[in-house]
Amino acid sequence: GQQLNQSPQSMFIQEGEDVSMNCTSSSIFNTWLWYKQDPGEGPVLLIALYKAGELTSNGRLTAQFGITRKDSFLNISASIPSDVGIYFCAGPGVQGAQKLVFGQGTRLTINP
Amino acid sequence: DGGITQSPKYLFRKEGQNVTLSCEQNLNHDAMYWYRQDPGQGLRLIYYSHIVNDFQKGDIAEGYSVSREKKESFPLTVTSAQKNPTAFYLCAVSRGRLNQPQHFGDGTRLSIL
């Protein structure tokens, strides 16, 4: 089946640093979703992307839909302590199945 | 996400016991999903339903059962056949149309006594 590979698996940064993470697929996606999960909570949708090349921002977060349609990127600028958590990318599975495929997540830790 | 209620927040199961996790939504969305998350892992799909009285197996359905008798409710039963049930269980809903995002409840953590 389709797989999503997220990179890096974990990040340890200083408060105030910018963060970049990416997600690659073995096949073409026509939607990319980025979620954040706080400990003990459910994932919350951050950004949804629907068109190749699309660049969308949500506050300090910016996500891009790769031109090849096989990848997506999430950037966080000027990180703050509440950015700590696990970031997941997701995309639709087999066309028409209306299921999502999730990456393994990128765990972000911030040192104050 | 508001509008999706999972209960209980914590649940303990004895050996050989079936337990049922509740997921209720007031968003009037058609599709509902159950995922399992293990420590340090991503989300794995257990079951999903796109319409009342119909549901489909996901990637790890063995040892689980569901029902969808009402649009707003999609309970998950963890049966005694599931030998490793300790995990964080997440319910999600979506409008059910292709490429629509899923929105998640706050999860139920199931542990074995």
B16 band by pLDDT with thresholds 50, 70 and 90: confident
pLDDT at residue A2 in the model: 65
Across the interface, whether the CB atoms of B101 and A92 are under 8 A apart is answered no
Average pLDDT over residues A96-108: 84
Q: Which residues of B touch A102 (CB under 8 A)?
A: 42-43
What DSSP character marks residue B19?
E
Task: In whole angstroms, give the CA distance from residue A50 to residue A72.
Answer: 11
B106 lies within 8 A of chain A by CB: yes
Q: Is A13 exposed, middle or buried (0-12, 13-18, 19+ CB in 10 A)?
A: middle
Q: How distant is the Cα of A102 from the closest Cα of chain B, in angstroms?
A: 6
Per-residue confidence (pLDDT) for residue A96, from 0 to 100: 54
Q: What amino acid occupies position A38?
A: D
pLDDT digits (tens, 9 = 90+) for A13-30: 999 999 999 999 988 888
Q: What is the pLDDT of residues A45-92, one digit of tens each?
A: 999 999 999 999 999 999 999 999 999 999 999 999 999 999 999 988
d(CA B60, CA B74): 17
Mutation target to probe the A interface, by most A beta carbons within 10 A, among B6, B10, B27, B43 is B43
pLDDT band (50, 70, 90) for residue A1:
low
Phi/psi-derived region of residue A82, left when phi > 0, alpha when psi is between -120 and 50, beta in every other case: alpha
pLDDT interval class at B100 (50, 70, 90): confident
Which pLDDT band holds residue B62 (cuts at 50, 70, 90)? Answer: very high
Confidence band for B113, pLDDT divided at 50, 70 and 90: confident
Please tell me which of the candidates A31, A98, A102 has its beta carbon nearest to residue B43: A102
CB A13 within 8 A of CB A106: no
Q: What is the pLDDT of residue B99?
A: 73
Give tens-digit pLDDT for B20-39. Answer: 999 999 999 999 999 999 98
